C-alpha cells in the first residue's frame, strides 16, 4: 500500500523512533528500489499518490518491501507479493524478497510458484487443509498436487509466450 506522501515518508511510514536518511536509502537499496527512486528529479522527496507521480505495480511493491525492511520484523507475512507483476518486475521484487527473508521467519502466501521455490518449507493448501509439505524439490519428487500445479503453471507460461 502506498500513501499520499513522499517516497521517503512512505518507506518510513509506521516507524517509531529516530530515522536517518541513510536508513531509508539502505532499505530502498535492499528492496531494489533505490535506482528508480534516484531517477526522479526530487528523488526520495518525490510525492506519490493521487496528486503525485504514478508508480508501476513493481515499484509500489518494492517501496512496500523497503518499508518492511526498515521495520526489521522478526516475523513477516507476504500475501501475493508478486501476483500482479510482469516478469521483469517479478524478478526484481523476488530478488528483494529473498533479501528480506534472511534472519527472520517469513510466511509467504502465493499462487505463483516461483515465489516459493526457494522456501525452506512449502505447504500446499487445498480446501483449507495442508495436503503436502516439503521443499520445492521434495514436493516435485512426490509427483502429487504441487507437481501438478507446477506443470499447469509451466503450460500457462508457454501458451502466453
Q: How is residue 47 annotated by DSSP?
A: E
Helix (H, G, I), strand (E, B) or coil at 135: coil
pLDDT, tens digit, for every residue of 19-48?
999 999 999 998 889 999 999 999 999 999
pTM of the model: 0.73
If pLDDT is split at 50, 70 and 90, which confidence band does 84 have? Answer: low
Contact 14, 67 (CB under 8 A): yes
Amino acid at each position: 500500500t502506498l500513501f499520499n506522501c513522499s517516497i521517503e515518508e512512505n518507506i518510513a511510514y509506521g516507524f517509531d523512533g529516530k530515522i536517518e536518511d541513510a536508513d531509508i536509502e539502505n532499505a530502498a537499496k535492499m528492496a531494489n528500489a533505490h535506482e528508480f527512486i534516484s531517477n526522479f528529479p526530487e528523488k526520495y522527496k518525490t510525492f506519490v499518490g493521487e496528486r503525485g507521480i504514478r508508480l508501476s505495480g513493481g515499484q509500489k511493491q518494492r517501496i512496500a518491501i523497503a518499508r518492511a525492511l526498515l521495520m526489521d520484523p522478526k516475523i513477516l507475512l507476504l500475501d501475493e507479493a508478486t501476483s500482479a507483476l510482469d516478469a521483469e518486475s517479478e524478478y526484481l521484487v523476488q530478488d528483494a524478497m529473498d533479501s528480506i527473508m534472511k534472519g527472520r521467519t517469513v510466511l509467504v502466501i502465493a499462487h505463483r510458484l516461483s515465489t516459493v521455490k526457494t522456501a525452506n518449507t512449502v505447504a500446499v493448501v487445498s480446501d483449507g487443509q495442508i495436503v503436502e509439505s516439503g521443499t520445492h524439490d521434495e514436493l516435485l519428487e512426490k509427483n502429487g498436487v504441487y507437481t501438478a500445479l507446477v506443470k499447469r503453471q509451466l503450460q500457462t507460461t508457454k501458451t502466453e509466450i
